[in-house]
Structure 1
Amino acid sequence: MKRAGFGRVLGAIATIGLLVGASACSSDESSEEATTTTAAPAEPRTVEHEYGSTVIPAELDNIVVTDEYAGLNLLAVGIVPDVTFTSFGSQIGAQILGNAGSKVIEVPPMGLPDPEQVLAEDPDLVVLTSYGDDRYYRSMADAIPTLPGPATTVSWQENLDFYGEAFDRADEAAQVTTALEGQLDELKSATQENPRSLSVLESARGIVAVPTPDSASSTILRAAGFTGPELQTAPLPEGSGGRPFTPVSEENLGTQDADIIVVFDEGIYSAEVVERTPGFDSLQGVRDGNLARVNGDLWAANHPFGTFWIIRDLQVLEAEDYAGVAGADDADARWSEFEELIG
């Protein structure tokens, strides 16, 4: 789709610079242009979202996603984004999307790619995961159709439904939902025979925290039949929703005990920071040896592949194989399992 007035648009969005840090020079590891599978609805579709609505063009030649989670959501319904920015710091997401044919552009993790850098890729559509603040979305929405997908604290089913409806892939989304719910049902049958509690701890940038009840891992744990500490399971106070984690102090670390202790690791997450926190070694789950380091990137994600990853890890943990959970080195094999499951 042609766009007019590109230079004028870039000047108009310059003020958004306060929202984003200085982006590092992008890098495209591929020396050859990859073949991608951009797909679009048969006709323009108006998609309602938290910031208003977006009209998705009928013809799309270049879909650009500002983060790996948005890209993996598209991939789950059969659409390969043409360009992926790595703003979520998801090593596995970048790897899977790159293997699928997306051009991967590296930017600093846990930030926002500069709008000028995004628009320089000449997109027909920009797709992003919502940060709960509409300024970044609006910095590009006047220039190009921009679709904010659900935040990571939205359930995986609702998130998947959104992408299915937005891109006229409702049947594909429903097939993925059925497959994942079948896996959850099987896991819940096993946990009901041997009920256990599971506590999740994480640390990024030196802060020890617990995923909130709205987070991806917490919702899946409940659906799978696991119980957990109150911070992980109790409803959040009114007006405090939308947070993916709650910081926990050294003094309160003992309240996060459970039969099984899971600690986020790899990528932006550091298991070492959690494990050297005073009181960690006193947790009963740790003393019993029921401790597992999991890939925090995938456990924090509400995209379908993240959901599948968590379910697979929980199946291993339910069988008391605490060293058997998957890590970044297992990403390709686990993606193949996911593809086989969803058909």
Structure 2
Amino acid sequence: MIQTQIQPISTALASALLNKINNKTKPLGSLGRLEKLALQVGLIQDTLTPELNKPVMMVFAGDHGIVQAGVSPFPQEVTQQMVFNFLSGGAAINIFSQTNAMQVRVIDAGVNHHFGMVPGLIDAKIGMGTQNFLTTPAMTQAQCEQALTVGISLAHKEFESCSNVMGFGEMGIGNTSSASALMAVLCELPPEQCVGRGTGLDDAGLQKKIDVIKAAVAQHKLDAKDACQVLATFGGFEIAMMVGAMLGAAEKKCVLLIDGFIATSALLVASKMQPEVLEYCVFAHCSNESGHRLLLHYLKAEPLLDLGLRLGEGTGAALAYPLVKAAVNFLNEMASFESANVSQAE
């Protein structure tokens, strides 16, 4: 079993941070969620003057055997094609990350394609895609633990390169099916509440996808308390590696930018392994993918944005990052009543 040591966030500076926030030249609470963000980042870094250094977006790619059951309108080759698109800078996540000065890391966690030596691609391949979890576990326990371990080491490597803000994105045809199954089992919810249209299923396709997930969940009969087994049974290599990266980033006291449905399903697994990971998370947005709003509610999460996005790739996390920057900047740079010689309310 993977061992990480995520420390609960210290609240020793909470009073001082709140005092600093409240003494800025504004009415109390008038910056709303930004005030909560500033407090959270200050507590994560245990300082009154937090800094956001070298933000990085980690995009994990992997293929899924469950596509054999007809759960996606897109062919599996799209995963590898999108990896090349990421590497050439042509995807939405490239544009949004570049807009916000974030570095993009493209990680082959388990794409069903031999890339060879491709510049810019991080080769962390566990296998050539997972198995069809309708009939057999998606991966072995050994593969699952390998993916987790690699994910932890990738996050640690980014931290050692001075990054303290990490966003998490993904690419993998069929991965909304994995996310839906993980959610259904770990949240103990009916699959129909967790399954959405993914990359654009019509009504008949959506019903088929629901039926497949229900059959798979019934087939494996797993204990919701065993998150690692649930992950191995229904996850993708990219999801498992993302779980590890989230745990590794939180272990190093980084700020975690959580994207949409698939990334949040990875966080769900991580939180079952190490509940403290949630304290380090900024929930970027509420996806338009059915099930995500319910999953956010389950995690007691407050997303920053609700733009109707359902692309994945980490796009929502990249779009939300400027709000985190704004929160830190107002905490550090905005004048206080005293420094600006402005009278306070009586």
TM-score (norm 2): 0.25
Structure with the bigger percentage of strand: 1
The TM-score normalised by the length of structure 1 is 0.25
